[in-house]
Amino acid sequence: MRRGAWVIAVWVAGLVLACLLIVRTPFSTDMSAFLPRSPTPAQQLLVEQLREGVVSRLVLVAVEGAPQEALAPISRGLAARLRLDDHFSVVNNGDQTAMTAEAGIVLRHRFLLSPAVTPQRFTEAALHDALLADIAMLGTDLAPVVKRMLASDPTGETMRLLQDVTGRSHPRSRDGVWVSRDGASALLTVSARAPGFDIDAQERGLDYIRAAFADTLHDMPHMQGARLVLTGPPVFAVQSRARIKSDAERLSIIATVLVAGVLLLAYRSPRMLVLGLLPVATGALAGVAAVGGVFGFVHGITLGFGVTLIGEAVDYAIYLFTQTQPQAAPRDTLKRIWPTLRLGMAISVCGFSAMLLSDFTGFAQLGLFTIVGLLTALAVTRFVLPVLMPAGFSAVGSARIAAPVLALIRHRLRLRWVVLVATMLAGASLVLHAGPYGEDELSSMSPIPRADMALDARLRGELGAPDVRTLLVVEAASREAALEASERAAAQADALVASGVITGFDAPGRWLPSQAVQSARRAALPEAAVLQENLARAVAGTGLRGDIFGPFLADVAAARSGALLQRADLDATSLALQVDSLLLRNGGKWAGLLPLSGVTDQVALAASVAAMGEAGVVFLDLKQESDNLLRSYRAEALMLSGAGGAVILLLLAVSLRTPRRIAAVVLPLVAALICTAALVLGFNERLSIFNLFGLLLVVAVGSNYILFFARAEADLPRMVASLVLADLCTVIGFGILSASSVPVLHGIGGTVAIGAFLSLVFGAVLSARTT
């Protein structure tokens, strides 16, 4: 067999092997791959909450544009339809008639639920005090309510508990349903049954809400003006996915068409166009196979980013095709350009290799993917493409595009000063930049438009919807143990409330006390005869009639012999949701969450929690935790880029040897990076982690151009043409991505487009050599 046939056979075998490996590799979109390898409990909980926490399922609904008197009927109609559906566990529109189940549970189990129930609660003296308090309330305008409860609940347990059901922050209510403060829209909250990360389920749920709204309006004439506004994490998740998908699809189609058009003009051969994609396609397959083999799974982000990161492999084919002279063999071209290609690839691999060491599995996967992908792509360029290239091929259409850069090279001595001054100005603007360089908030990476976030904040404010930020967290081996642990933590939180560090907190035991606590409360209820005698003495002299308390005596007797409250008793009420959202199964363990409210001083709070010394109580600030995670990403990205840069310098030193040659490569690259960073900072005011990724790509792509310029080249116009063609493709591809409003696409696209262009120009001016 000829050598060429062997090469093709090995290549095809490799492709088959890679495909076999890939078929067996699970793909994951689990955010935990972007957690550190050994996450803190706080980080783990953060990701859990984002994935499936109660907040991740909450849809906030507003009905606008209807006449004010129509809002309540629409709200009731919509809520009734949604309550019928299986997608949602709780639908709340403020209609208290829909809360009768909750009120019933509270009434029935008040002696087990109320923290005030202790043996001392039912002594003659305590009952007397309770009755005096009741009389004081009878003197106010609350008298009708107090009167209704007095006979069965003189100690006021129900009233106190029901106060907690409705919650501390009331939305405004009109005609019995929640409305916005200006009264112009009706408000509802809807909790999806599916966890937040199940975006397909969330999408179906949202579609159902829209359909239910349309049905509701259908039954009511003249309501065409009414609009439905949805917000909340499920809405954002569905929208972001759709936006990223549509942006990525739309923009990559545009970019692909344009790049293919440019390459077709240059090659005048569709076959070459397809051949040009072989290195990068093979590289991507090999990269996925390698990551799957090493890590056991491939993250969706690795795939998406990885293909972008090995984009420079497209250039390999361009260099080969364009620099091949008519009537020359591709092998001869390769002989000439191979050292440069190899060094360029090695620079990229060094740049990315630092990522292998990352503490974040996601970064490490990206590193491995890129290295294997680039090595494979270069090997395909070196060995496979020459076999498949038609004899005598020459990129006839590329000759003219070199002209502008050749002009730069001719005037390079004068232009050097321009580059130098521009770089110094850019450097100065970077140094003098007022304010922080990086985004510290995770929200900056979110693809959600600002207006939508503002809408969400407004509705959240109106509804008093949970915006869980600070928590105490306890962990235990079982649900019951977690309940008990959170009751101990709640006692500590009570102390924090008493000392004014926080204004309040919630706890899983509020609606489901541990069995131990319930038993203790049940045991605190006195025997019928004792209670009757204590009550009779307590009533004396109060002015109350003594013969009205029969219901109270009966209820206490029933509670004494009744069963304890179980989680299943809460089913199908909003109390179940409240318990489940605070009592989570976390792997094999159970976690109890105590959200704190009214926290003014996070630092003081953290200190006092630490000082409380209750074993196993963790203080968690979710926002700070997510911002910390982002900061550690950025710190890690900076550290890895720094390490990569050092390795690249070492590599250049070893392979180029003389300081002059090293400088000829490093100076234009550094100048391009400085100017790109200054421009991006000027446009965006901040450098995001995506801009950093972009700069890394500029090093990978730009170094190739500069290495080619720095070589003494016999056929300068042809070499320059190949660089211009490669650069044109990069600038078009990434420039179009920068038109996206999705931060990740915009950030990487803009940075690479600017950086690649500047690398070419600066390389031409600072590094080009003419023979």
List all residues 6 or more positions away from 169 whose beta carbon is below 8 Å from its beta carbon: 464
What residues from 531 to 560 belong to the interface with another protein (CB under 8 A)? 543-545, 548
Quote the CA–CA distance of 61 and 75 in Å, as a whole number: 10
Element (H, E) at 493: helix 479-498
Angle between helices 233-267 and 312-323 in degrees, nearest 10: 10
Contact between 161 and another protein by CB under 8 A: the answer reads no
**Residue 182 is a binding residue for another protein (CB under 8 A):** no
On whether the CB atoms of residues 759 and 705 are closer than 8 A, the answer is: yes
Q: Is residue 143 at the binding interface for another protein, with CB under 8 A as the rule?
A: yes
Question: How far is the C-alpha of 676 from the C-alpha of 696, rounded, in Å?
Answer: 12
Among 13, 17, 100, 170, binds another protein (CB under 8 A): 170
Of 144, 500, 588, 613, the one binding another protein (CB under 8 A) is 144
By CB under 8 A, tell whether 145 contacts another protein.
yes
Binding mask 41-80 for another protein (x = CB under 8 A): ----------------------------------------
Q: Residues with Cβ < 8 Å from 586, sequence gap 6 or more?
A: 44, 45, 48, 475
Residue 598 found at the interface with another protein (CB under 8 A): no
Which residue reads 């990724």 in tokens?
A: 693
CB of 96 to another protein, least distance (A): 4
Q: If binding is defined by CB under 8 A, does position 172 make contact with another protein?
A: yes
Q: In this complex, which beta carbon is closest to another protein, that of residue 10 or of residue 145?
A: 145
> Which stretch, 159-167, 262-270, 405-413, 420-428, contacts another protein (CB under 8 A)?
159-167
Q: Which of 403, 425, 342, 471 is nearest to 725 (CA)?
A: 403
> For residue 762, which of 665, 672, 662 has the smallest C-alpha distance?
672
Residue 491 C-beta: closest distance to another protein, Å = 19
Quote the tokens at residue 575.
């109390």
- According to DSSP, residue 392 is labeled T
Closest CA to 109 of 747, 663, 565, 768: 565
Q: What is the DSSP letter of 142?
A: T
Q: Which is nearer to another protein, 156 or 373 (CB)?
A: 156
Among 175, 441, 580, 627, binds another protein (CB under 8 A): 175
State yes or no: residue 147 binds another protein (CB under 8 A). yes
Q: Which stretch binds another protein (CB under 8 A): 168-176, 311-319, 610-618, 744-752?
A: 168-176
Instruction: Report the SS3 class of residue 579.
Output: helix
Q: How far is the CB of 537 from another protein (least distance, A)?
A: 16
- Does 150 participate in binding another protein (rule CB under 8 A)? yes
Structure tokens at 280: 């990068």
148 binding another protein? (CB under 8 A) = yes
Binding to another protein in span 81-110, by CB under 8 A: 96
Instruction: Report the nearest approach of another protein to the CB of residue 496 (Å).
Output: 16
Rounded Cα–Cα distance for residues 723 and 709 (Å)? 9
β-bridge pairing 227-231 and 583-586: unpaired
Binding mask 289-308 for another protein (x = CB under 8 A): --------------------
At residue 38, what are phi and psi to the nearest 5 degrees? -120, 85
Q: Does residue 318 interact with another protein by CB under 8 A?
A: no
How many whole angstroms separate alpha carbon 765 and alpha carbon 611?
63
461 binds another protein (CB under 8 A): no
Contact 194, 59 (CB under 8 A): no
How many chain residues touch another protein (CB under 8 A)?
Answer: 29
How far apart, in whole angstroms, are the C-alpha atoms of residue 147 and residue 141? 11
User: Tokens in use for 644?
Assistant: 């990569």
- Under rule CB under 8 A, which residues in 120-139 are in contact with another protein? 135-139
Told to check if 115 binds another protein by CB under 8 A, we report no
> Interface with another protein includes 209 (CB under 8 A)?
no
Cβ distance to another protein smaller for residue 131 or 290: 131
Q: Is 141 in the site for another protein (CB under 8 A)?
A: yes
Contact (Cβ atoms closer than 8 angstroms) between residue 722 and residue 405:
no
DSSP structure class, residue 620: E
CB of 587 vs another protein, minimal distance in Å: 38
Closer residue to another protein, CB minimum distance, 435 or 543: 543
What residues line the site for another protein (CB under 8 A)? Answer: 96, 135-145, 147-148, 150-151, 159, 163, 166, 170, 172-176, 543-545, 548
